Structure 1
Amino acid sequence: MLEIRYRLTQIALVLVSVVVILGAFTRLTDAGLGCPDWPGCYGFLTVPTGAEEVAIAEMAFPERPVEASKARNEMVHRYFAGSLGVLVLLLWVLSLRAKQHVKLATTLLATVTFQAVLGMWTVTMNLMPLVVMGHLLGGFTTFCLILLLFLRLKTRVLLAREHIQDKPSPLKGDKLLLGMIKAATLVVVLQIALGGWTAANYAAVACTDLPICEPGWQEKFDLSQALSVPTGHADYEFGVFPFEARMSIHVLHRFGAILATSIIALLLLRLWQNHSLRPLALGLGSLTLIQISLGVSNVVFHLPLAVAVAHNFVGLLLLATLVIAWYLVQSRRKTSLSVHINSSSQSSQLPLEQGA
């Protein structure tokens, strides 16, 4: 049972990665409304292609003529997302049977269920930015929960295969390190949310100069407008904000990138001080440099599709690396604390045993 769950979680990690990539691809090709209904497409289970099917579809949705390429992008994303939902449900059932990781599996199932609701709202509310951003964050959350389940199962599998004991590996200054990892994770999550807000409001090309924006952006910058939630519109496709608001959103995202890079740089210095965590530091540092390069390329080359999709996915990998770091350091701290408590308990009982 343990091995089966472990293998299924590996498959789920690959599948959720594909779903995230397809989600970004769908959004960046303006295919979010490629199918104007949910969960089908123009009333069909597949994309209508025949002349008769297209006629029926356009009669049902006259405001949305069939664009086969966009509809195909949307439905492929839905098929993979649906497959992931089935797999997560299976993992939940197996976790209940094994009586292991039940809370985590239940949280994962609830997240995927709500993610499906957000997917429906994305269509039925015509790409409302708050829903689109929430759908992005839901996808990233799903990935991180599956990753955490994978890490926990991997630990159990290794212990079972090798018949080894969980020996403590204390980290010097681990309390500070764990705090830095948590801070970096929070900042990266906020930056991902800003990236989702930028994309959802079609503000990705609002600034085409580096490092911040075009000259005079300070006079146009309006934080309250950038963080306001647009409501009351029948359709949000291609954005409803004026240029000044989009520019402010984009500038805010760039400031977030500077802050995130600074926090990660401090964390890298701390990670590098521990020899066992240097490979993690190298991975995190490399991903950060790649992400910065992709962000700059998006500006210089005016948001090429491949680069924009990669920028989205590398952001996910950055978050995943921080989750792994959090798990490793926290696991070592718990093990070390347990050993310390047990040692203290044995020491306190020793004189009584000798006196007896």
Structure 2
Amino acid sequence: MYRDSNQVMDTYYSWRYKLALGGCALALVVVILGAFTRLADAGLGCPDWPGCYGHLTWPDETHEIQAANAAFPNTPVDNSKTWPEMVHRYFAGTLLLLVASLLYLSWRRPKQRTFKHTHYLMGLIILQAAFGMWTVTLKLWPQVVTAHLLGGMATLSMLWLLVERMRHGENSSLNKKYHTLHKLLPLAILTALVITVQIALGGWTSSNYAALACPDFPTCHGQWLPQADFRAGFNIFQQIGPNYLGGALESDARTAIHLSHRIGALLVTLMVVSLAYLTWREGSRSWAIVLIALIALQVSLGIANVVMFLPLPIAVAHNAGAALLLLGILTFCYRIYSSKTTEISGNIYKANYELNKPKLTGNM
């Protein structure tokens, strides 16, 4: 009976772990598809939601296209833009169903320590679906597009942290090797926060079509300090209603956004390199190499975007690189934090044991 119970629990955790890992991979695909849709100017490829010109997929037959054009005369069908939008939606919908499955499994074991984590994840992905709808209905309003990007990164991050919690746990012996890195945790957390802000700046750059506002590198229009309008560039109260496809800001405002993203990239690079150096000094050379490789890849892709005038494959890869960099630093932070809590728990257990253990006397 006891053995059968253990087998059931092993099967249960195995299914949850596989679902979480699959969800993480799917979330990364959704992030990449979202970047492709945005960068291919296909964000309004379907003017309605959740369908596309009233179809479950998209109109591709001649009579379907004619009917769609009649129903939406201001947005004629362009099949080079309809399919990216709908493929992105269907992958996102599949991810929602997968997270719902994780939620169902968590209800069957409400005392497990990832119970709340799964519920927060479900709430986040429902909010993401709403942002996806608003992206279309508000016609690519930059605030919503940027929030949708951040929500996608947050969903991916929460799924990955769920995988980490299930794989290692607070009492895993694997965490012992991170004990020497405890003093680097504040810097690692600060680096993760700065990377998150930089991703938001990247989303703001993309949603305002400012990626090519500076067509040269390392200068901008041949100057180190070109004319830029930061007030207009970071006006978060842009009017709701206009179609923001292609952007609505003046050149100086876009330049300000682009420059801010470059400055953010420099700050992130300095912080990641510093963290990698300190990690190397503490003896964790594998993590130092991983951090350097991730930041080097991301910086290289960012520079290539400018000097090659934003080729679609490289621009999409730059978004994927941002996701991988974020996951890398979050993994680093979580494993250090987890090893720290394990050590604290162990010390508390030892202290309680010393206080409560039976007193040995000579009468024994």
Question: What TM-score bracket applies, with the shorter chain setting the length?
Answer: over 0.9
Task: Report what 2:50 is aligned to.
Answer: 39
Secondary structure of residue in 1 paired with 2:179: coil
Give the structure 2 partner of residue 123 of structure 1. 136
CA distance in 1, matches of 2:174, 2:305: 45
2:351 to 327, 338, 344: 344
1:226 is matched with which residue? 233
In structure 2, what is the Cα distance between the partners aligned to 1:254 and 1:285?
Answer: 18
How far 1:272 sits from its partner (Å)? 1.3
Deviation at 1:22, TM superposition (A): 0.7
Q: CA deviation at 1:216?
A: 4.7
Q: What is the distance in 1 between the residues matched to 2:263 and 2:218? A: 10
* Aligned-residue offset at 1:172: 3.0
TM-score (structure 2 length as normaliser) = 0.91
Deviations 1:14-46 (A, max 9, x none): 111111111111111100000000000001111
Give the corresponding residue for 1:206.
Answer: 213
Q: Give deviations 1:51-100, integer Å, cap 9, x for gaps.
A: 21111111111000100110011111111111011001001110111222
Q: Match of 2:108?
A: 97
1:166–1:215 distance in 2 versus 1, CA, 3 Å = closer
**1:24-173 to 2 correspondences below 5 Å:** 24-99=35-110, 100=112, 101-155=114-168, 168-169=176-177, 171-172=179-180
Out of 309, 315, 319, the residue aligned to residue 312 of structure 1 is 319
**Structure 1: runs of 5 or more not aligned:** none
TM-superposed deviation, 1:217: 6.3
Alpha-carbon distance in structure 1 between the residues aligned to 2:266 and 2:102: 39
1:287 aligns with 2:300: no
Percentage identity across paired residues of the two chains: 42
Give 1:169 shift: 4.8
1:266 to 274, 290, 293: 274
1:165: how far off?
Answer: 6.4
- CA distances 1:186-218 after superposition (whole Å, capped 9, x unpaired): 000000000000000000000012224124563
Residues 173 and 324 (structure 1), Cα distance of their counterparts in 2 relative to 1, 3 Å cut:
closer
Cα displacement (A) at 1:355: 7.2
Question: Is 53-62 or 224-233 further displaced after alignment?
Answer: 224-233
Residues 186-195 or 229-238, more deviating: 229-238
Gapped runs of 5+ residues in structure 2? 1-11
RMSD, aligned α-carbons: 2.0
The question of whether the paired residues in 2 share the 8 Å contact of 1:58 and 1:64 is answered with yes
Q: TM-score under structure 1 normalisation?
A: 0.93
